[in-house]
Amino acid sequence: MLDRVLPRTLLALGRAFEKRALAALHADGHLGLRPSHFAVFSFIGTGTVRVSELADRAQQTQQGMGKTLRELELMGYIERAIDTQDRRAKAIKLTKSGKKVADHIARSFTAIRKEQAAQLGQEDYDKLVALLDQLVAVTALETPAPFWK
């Protein structure tokens, strides 16, 4: 039975994090944000990134990512500039407001993790996180973590 549902269960857990973080953002006045915007906030990181690279990180098409970026730009969360390495490309980065949203998301995720640790017990939760970290490492899975260092 687990073979049929494990991937969807993991996906559902991730979406639950995002749903709660989005509710907190909405409560804080960021009413225009939608679940699709989490792809940008997850993978943009602290520097600048090209649209094509951001789309690759989020496993989306460039067209889909472009649409999401236009929405976030209109809301003032990201800005585009000419890429200094390639004048044909656009460099994307978070604005001051965008950084506040990214920090808000991180705080929400931390609060959720603390709740889950209390529900499972800290020792079991730590084991779960350690096993997931091992699985990410042995499968060479790309995660957002490197972009936020």
Question: Domain holding 25: CATH number?
Answer: 1.10.10.10
Positions of the chain with pLDDT under 70: 1-2
State the pLDDT at residue 34.
96
For residue 60, give its domain range.
15-144
**Using CA atoms, how far apart are residues 23 and 26, in angstroms rounded to an integer?**
5
State the pLDDT at residue 1.
57
Number of compact structural domains in the chain: 1
Structure tokens at 119: 């529900």
Residue 7 domain flag: no
Buried b (16+ CB within 10 A) or exposed e, 87-96: eeebbbbbee
8 A C-beta contact, residue 62 and residue 55: yes
Rounded to the nearest 5°, which phi and psi values hold at 92? -110, 140
8 A C-beta contact, residue 83 and residue 50: yes
Residue 10 domain flag: no
Give, as one character, the DSSP assignment of residue 1.
-
H, E, C per residue of 28-76 = CCCCCCCHHHHHHHHHCCCCCEEHHHHHHHHCCCHHHHHHHHHHHHHCC
- Other Cβ atoms less than 10 A from the Cβ of 50: the count is 16
Name the nearest CA neighbour of 72 among 39, 105, 29, 115: 39
Q: Which amino acid is at 10?
A: L
Residue 82 domain flag: yes
Dump pLDDT digits (tens) for 37-55. Answer: 999 999 999 888 999 999 9
Residue 115 domain flag: yes
Query: What strands lie across the sheet with 49-50, from one edge to the other?
Result: 49-50, 90-94, 78-82
State the pLDDT at residue 145.
80
Proportion of the chain above pLDDT 90, given as a percent: 72
